[in-house]
Structure 1
Amino acid sequence: MAEMADMAETESKVEGGAEDSYRSIEKVIESVRLDREKAMRLKVYVRMGMTAAAFLLGWWGYLTTHAGAIKLVDIANYAYQASQLLVFNMPQGVLHNQIPWQLQVARFALPGLAIYGSVMTYLDMVRAPLATWWAARKRNHVMVVGGSARTLKVTKRCVVVGIPVVVVLPEGDGTVKELRTLGLPVIVGSLDSPDTFQRAGIAGARATLLLAGSDAANLRALLSATEEAERRRTAGQEPLEIACELQSRMMSGMLAASMAERRGGAAECHIIDFDDVIARQLLPVLAPVLGRRDAPHLVMIGSDELALQVARRLLLNIGENGHVTVICENAEAAARNFFQNLPGRTDFLGLHFLQGGSDLAAASDEALEAAMAAGSPHALVISGSDEIAMARTLQAIRWLRARGEPPIPVLVRQRAGQTLARAGRLSIPDGDWAARLATFGDDGDECDPEALLRGHIDRLARAVHQAYLDLSPEGPSAVPWSGLAETFRESCRRQADHVHIKLARLCLEACLEQDGEALVLDPARIEDLAEFEHWRWCVDRWLDGWTLGERKDVAAQISPHLKPYAQLDEAIKEFDRAAVRNIPAVLAAAGLAARPQGDIYGMAR
């Protein structure tokens, strides 16, 4: 799944019978490979057929010049003479006489085809070196750097969606041949060498993805990439987008904070958070629940980092009366981890951490019973390894069915695809419950290059920020996007995420522009959504550590506007209204429109 521009794909993939995206990617890649092989074989067969036809034509021409009975030795002799046409060799006697049309054609066609075949064979031999040479001269492409499994998956996704890509691999990597069979330029060299990046065309690249598989290799590649970005800057080029994978959470946090302070430089760098990529992609799917006007209740079952990221995203997008319940093995440790960047805070309105059972049975009957204190759930999201997540899912569904709860959407993380989900649906006796079991977060979702580079979401966030600047505000956030602090950039991204939920509040959904209509908002809708937007903004600021105070102080993270919408001045309310009025422009920036909401999983309104 991608961001808003991939809405249609997102919703189709989560349907019960849908095929997992990564398997589809593999099918497309195999189709590309087979098409290339078929095209190459076809060219060989055509060349061979045309050469054979020209040879037979020349042979026929020689036979027509023969006087008398044709013997077997004459046939062989004329066949030999026809073959000599390949090198422009014709008998003198024939040249002095009138040449038959067959021979006239053959004496030009055979040498010409021989030259063409030789040139094409040579080009086939040097195609890979030529692609490597041309890579340094490419423009507006994405560089995928590294030799990890993710490098291969991201590259394949680029091929499928049509993103121009140059792959940089370390020496000795075994995937070079496989990628070159797809016709991709592959640069082999040291990942910490500026020369390697120059040969990959970093001077004209749009973005660079660093996926070497180890923190040390990625950091060395990051230094080389930023060095080359400085050279681009002196040449007057746009900043280079760099996305870097790091395994260490501590290192990621330190570098992310450092990169956030260096906005407006030669490179726009960020650390890839794969869990956050997956969590963000869930929002369009869960929008009908998050946008409910009553008290929506979503239950997250899991003890990994993804569970906390999903809980955070849900909390950022749910309404003021909503509830998010997290059932995990160690509720106290999970809460401590969730609030580690919020000193002094140990709870949050609408968020509940409940103690579950063992790893396999994290959603114990007691924990599910306790979750009911916030009301019957409207959706379940379950994470963990594929097998454990599916076991938790079936256990939770069995318990809810036994209580007589109505069927609700159940989203389960499955990295490997749909196999376990299909088996799980077969084991659920109730067809309505089985139809609402869907998967998310497979390799195709995790390795979407646009999501990793924040391509779609940043385009929308820029539109959000520009609408804010049009109001002529004051303060540190009233600057162009290039100089905007990361905390405000992320706030714009979160506002863009919330467009799906606001549409769902109106019983609408985003769709491709040609499939919907322009969104028209009357004053009553604008005021309703403005209050919804203000609550979202408050949660956004609270979870970033901001508190209420008399005067705004960005350094101290204090704002006088962290209070109910009804208590705001009209001037401040106008910022929320402007955010709502800007929704059609945000949709248009992604090539989207709005249409009446479909019956996703039969979600009740």
Structure 2
Amino acid sequence: MAPRDPWPSSLLLDSMLRALQLTVLSLDREAISPVPVFVLVMANLAGMVTVGAGIAFVARLALNRLRLWLQTWNGRERAVLFGFGTINRAVARHMAENDYAVTVVDKVFDDSARQLAAIHGLVLVAADLADPASLSPLRLDAAERVVVALGNDMANVELGTSLMRKNGPLVFMHVADVQLAGSLRQLGREGLSFLGGRGAAGAGPGWTFSLKEEAARNLMIKAQLALSARTMGQARVHLVIVGFGDQGRAVLLETLLDATAAGLAPPRITVIDREADCLALRFAALHPRLMDSSIPDEARPTLVFLEADMGETDLAANRQLTALEDQVPITAYVFCCGDDSVNLDAGLRLEQAMRRGARHTVPIYLAHRGAGMLPDALRQENRLSILRTFGATYDSVASSPLLRNDPDGPAKLLNGAYNDQAVEQGLMPRPDHRIDDNSAWAGLAETLQESNRRAIRHANTKLLDLGLRWRGGTMAGLPSIPHDVATFFHHVEAGLRYPGIIDDDDHGQAGSAEIDMARCVLAEHRRWLIDRAMDDWRQRRHGETRDNRQRIHSNIVRFADLDPKSKRFDAMMIRALLAHCASLSPEMAPQAFPLNKVCAFIEADGALAQGALGKATDVALAWSSNLSAVTAAQADDIVERLREWSLNPFATRLTIILGRTLDTRIGQSGMVSMAALVTRIDGAVDADVQLQVVSLHGRGNAGLSDTELKATMA
């Protein structure tokens, strides 16, 4: 038998392998002679491919270097992002939409990353983040912002602090752990100095941020819990938080401040978690002043932890929920279990229980970070739905301080206005020259800086308590207040009888404006007491004096126990807020208007009995419990009136009050059910007007009488 040819040219894969060996490994051709022609062709092709790949690789590097160079000279502000996971992808989109030149740095990039880069004009740079030499071509000195979100908190902080330089870019480090984020803020630069190097105290500007905290703050603005509690006739805000991870803790802390409002008792927050007992102990260890008797009774919130697994519970028949509803009426539910699908499942089951009349109907907010969809797909939300979402990554990024030149700018302005008002009212000595806001801020301890940050976040609640309304009130940002309105409130505050302010019921004031202002001042003191407890301040004991370093204060007492001068310091925050909002340009911020509420009631015959809508800021709409449908002509008239009203700049809020469950049945042709009417109203009313549906009928199908409904509306 003749020997078999060692190089059978009929096998393609074998031939390609030999070609690669000939080209790359330079094997001796005589040792494998004779070489088939096909192998020689493949060898040359392999060489050409190898050279082409090398040229393409070098060209890509050169093109990236060129694009980096062009970014530094094109006149646009530039941002460098380290890491390209879910967070920085949302950051990249947001910054690109705001005309930033964006460079993204990571170890590797997949096809979806390259596609996103092509859409938004991003420059992708593959680099070893652990090797400083590989970062030198990035030209960080030519960037205005650096955002670090690598998916690990310590890696973010470590890399971020190493990039902080004097006169360098603003460095933002994402910290997912809410407790760690708070601790780093409390310690300020000293909290980062243990890492040494450029990250030590005295280095360039750097901030930590947490999207879970941003989500909680956005929820407070969106939910307006205090206003909802008042609308439902509740004595206090009662929020039920299901799930107590980082997101649940952030929601609880923000609610403690936001739900402390004029005319309402201190909030109650019920936490439901399958490990509630352990979580309660941990929370008490981290925030002892919130759980003990350090806060005076008039301001002390009620925090209750219940152990239950809502994912495996019949929400319609659960006895714990029934007991909660009977003890203190619930204002809203917030589901933040850490898994979007778990939140959605539990929220849907609770919504069905509400629709069947097994539970009181109140808003349900679901933490929903999203599945990486484009932001426009998440923009529209049904204003009539019981279920509402919060915490979408893109929305949290858009409201974060990433695009601010000074993330503490609003808090600095408020602190400066507070000092100005205190000097003007004789509560602080007048300096030889006014200290600028930046210098005054730099002189504050970190705990006092954080207190000002919380105060600016509570501003919306204060303005609502004062009876001010503005369009887009469920979005971040403060409104512009006319100077005459701010001056009016300043005069009202100056005329208060402070010795007469004891509590919400015993205010000792002459007029309605003075009563409202007295309640606002009292609420501000209560908010301040909770704020101090969050930072572990305590009341001074006998023989002690105030000590900011040890966090000892002399005013952690009931408002009635303060001396007259100290009482006015609480009012200075309100005066400062009014002065700050009066300084905002109406072209740059929505204008606020004094509350002007009109009640519109649809009688049993379908006729709309109302005062003239005129310049109403708020409209409350309800209808007779005997009414299940209106004629088509009546429906057209109601919808058109509300549509025309909603187009006015002073129209801010429409509240639809249900005295019984919505009836979808139509008795005869030509009639429009009340459920269909509500849907038509939602479609007609301008998107900038806040629309809220409030159900007052409780569990079961028993409705309120017309007299009860009208009394509630008034």
CA change 1:543–1:454 in 2 (3 A) is: farther
Structure 2 counterpart SS, 1:408: coil
In structure 2, do the counterparts of structure 1 residues 564 and 196 end up closer, same or farther at CA, with 3 Å as the change threshold? farther
Alpha-carbon shift at residue 171 of structure 1 (Å): 4.3
Letter of the 2:145 counterpart: A
Counterpart in the other structure of 1:594: 592
* 1:91-170 matched pairs, under 5 angstroms: 129-137=65-73, 140-160=77-97, 162-170=98-106
What SS is found at the alignment partner of 2:453? helix
User: Which letter does structure 1 place at the counterpart of 2:520?
Assistant: L
Contact 2:273 2:306 in 1 (8 A): yes
Match 2:159 to one of 221, 229, 232 = 221
- The CA distance in 1 between the partners of 2:551 and 2:240, in whole Å, is 31
Q: SS at 1:296's partner residue?
A: strand
Match of 1:95 in 2: none
Q: Distance in 2 between matches of 1:309 and 1:568?
A: 31
2:379 aligns with: none
Residue 309 of structure 1 deviates from its aligned partner by 1.4
Kept in 2: contact 1:139–1:204 (CA 8 A): no
Distance 1:298 1:344, change over 3 A: closer
> Is 1:203 aligned with 2:148?
no
Preserved CA contact (<8 Å) 2:64 2:125: no
Q: Is 2:459 aligned against 1:499?
A: yes
Q: Which residue of 2 aligns with 1:331?
A: 276
Could you tell me how far 1:242 is from its partner in structure 2? Answer: 1.9
1:533-572 paired onto structure 2 within 5 Å? 533-549=524-540, 551-572=545-566
For residues 368-407 of structure 1, what are the structure 2 equivalents within 5 Å?
A: 368-384=321-337, 385-401=339-355, 407=361
Deviation at 1:561? 0.9
1:438: how far off? 1.2
Quote the offset at 1:173 in angstroms: 2.4
Q: CA deviation at 1:456?
A: 8.4
> Structure 1 residues 417 and 284, CA, compared in 2 at 3 Å: closer, same or farther?
farther
Name the stretch that deviates more: 365-374 or 280-289: 365-374
1:357 maps to what in 2?
Answer: 309
1:309 aligns with 2:250: yes
Structure 1 counterpart of 2:207, from 237, 256, 270: 270
1:371 to partner: Cα distance:
1.8
- Runs (4 or more) in structure 1 with deviation over 6 Å come to 124-127, 248-251, 453-457, 512-516
Q: Give the drift of 1:301.
A: 1.8
Percent identical among aligned pairs is 22
**Normalization by structure 1: what TM-score?**
0.66
Are the aligned partners of 2:310 and 2:346 in contact in 1 as well (CA < 8 Å)?
no
Structure 2 CA distance for partners of 1:147 and 1:437, relative to 1, 3 Å: closer
Contact 1:584 1:593 in 2 (8 A): no
Relative to structure 1, the CA distance from residue 489 to residue 593 in structure 2 (aligned partners, 3 Å threshold; closer, same or farther) is farther
Map 1:242-261 onto structure 2 (within 5 A): 242-246=171-175, 258-261=187-190
Q: CA offsets, 1:431-456, max 9 Å, x none?
A: x9962321111221243373457778
2:365 is matched with which residue?
A: 411
CA distance in 2, matches of 1:362, 1:266: 55
The one-letter code sitting in structure 2 at the alignment partner of 1:389 is N
Give the whole-Å Cα distance in 2 for the aligned partners of 1:486 and 1:508: 31
Equivalent residues of 2:81, 2:104 under 8 A apart = yes
Amino acid at match of 2:463: L
Query: Partners of 2:69 and 2:383 in 1: how far apart?
Result: 56
User: What SS does the aligned partner of 2:521 have?
Assistant: helix
Instruction: In structure 1, list runs of 5 or more residues that go unmatched.
Output: 1-123, 420-431
C-alpha deviation, 1:313, in angstroms? 0.9
Deviation at 1:303, TM superposition (A): 3.3
Q: Which residue of 2 aligns with 1:367?
A: 320
Task: Look up the match of 2:577.
Answer: 583
User: 1-side partners of 2:571 and 2:154: how far apart?
Assistant: 47
Q: Which residue in the other structure is 1:443 paired with?
A: 393
Q: In 2, are the aligned partners of 1:341 and 1:545 still within 8 Å (CA)?
A: no
Matched residues in 2 for 1:373 and 1:543: separation? Answer: 30
Q: Cα distance 1:509–1:156, how it changes in 2: closer, same or farther (>3 A)?
A: same
> What TM-score, normalized by structure 2, do the two folds share?
0.57
Give the deviation of 1:404 after TM superposition.
Answer: 6.3
In the alignment, which residue of structure 2 is the partner of 1:295? 236
CA-atom RMSD in angstroms:
3.9
Q: Compared with structure 1, are the counterparts of its residues 345 and 279 closer, same or farther at alpha carbon in structure 2 (3 Å cutoff)?
A: closer
Distance in 1, Cα, partners of 2:248 & 2:419: 35
Supply the AA of the counterpart residue of 2:653.
Answer: G
CA offset at residue 377 of structure 1? 1.0
Q: Secondary structure at the match of 2:122?
A: coil
Q: Which of 338, 341, 365 pairs up with 2:286? A: 341
Q: Aligned in 2, Cα 1:394/1:284: closer, same or farther, shift over 3 Å?
A: same
What amino acid maps onto 1:435 in structure 2?
S
Is 1:183 aligned to residue 121 of structure 2? yes
In structure 2, distance between residues paired with 1:413 and 1:269: 28
Relative distance call for 1:456 and 1:560 in structure 2 (3 A) is same
2:366, 2:389 within 8 Å by CA — same for their partners in 1? yes
2-side partners of 1:147 and 1:281: how far apart? 24
Count of residues in correspondence between the two structures: 459
Aligned pair in 2 of structure 1 residues 541, 184: CA closer, same or farther (>3 Å)?
Answer: same
Aligned 1:11-50 pairs, distance under 5 A: none
Aligned partner (choices 425, 442, 460) of residue 410 of structure 2: 460
Distance 2:546 2:91 in 1: 43
Decide whether aligned partners of structure 1 residues 130 and 583 sit closer, same or farther in structure 2, where only a CA change above 3 A counts: same
Q: Is the 8 A contact 1:356 1:362 kept in 2?
A: no
Which structure shows the higher helix fraction? 1
Q: Check the 8 A contact 1:243/1:271 in 2, yes or no.
A: yes
**Highest RCO, 1 vs 2 (Cα 8 Å, sep ≥ 6):** 1
Measured in 2, the distance between the counterparts of 1:247 and 1:543 equals: 19
CA distance in 1, matches of 2:144, 2:325: 49
The farther-off stretch of 437-446 and 127-136 is: 127-136
Residue in structure 2 matched with residue 322 of structure 1 by the alignment: 267
- Counterparts in 2 of 1:411 and 1:246: CA distance versus 1, 3 Å: closer
Distance 1:251 1:278, change over 3 A: closer
Amino acid at match of 1:381: V
Are the aligned partners of 2:216 and 2:250 in contact in 1 as well (CA < 8 Å)? yes
Specify whether residues 196 and 373 from structure 1 end up closer, same or farther in structure 2 by C-alpha distance, changes over 3 A only.
farther
Q: Distance in 1 between matches of 2:561 and 2:170?
A: 41
SS in 2 for 1:134: helix
Deviation at 1:500, TM superposition (A): 1.2
Structure 1 residue 185 displacement after superposition: 3.8
What is residue 241 of structure 1 aligned with on the other side? 170
Q: Does 1:480 align with 2:535?
A: no
In 2, distance between residues paired with 1:167 and 1:382?
36
Between stretches 580-589 and 322-331, larger displacement belongs to 580-589
Shift of 1:388: 1.4
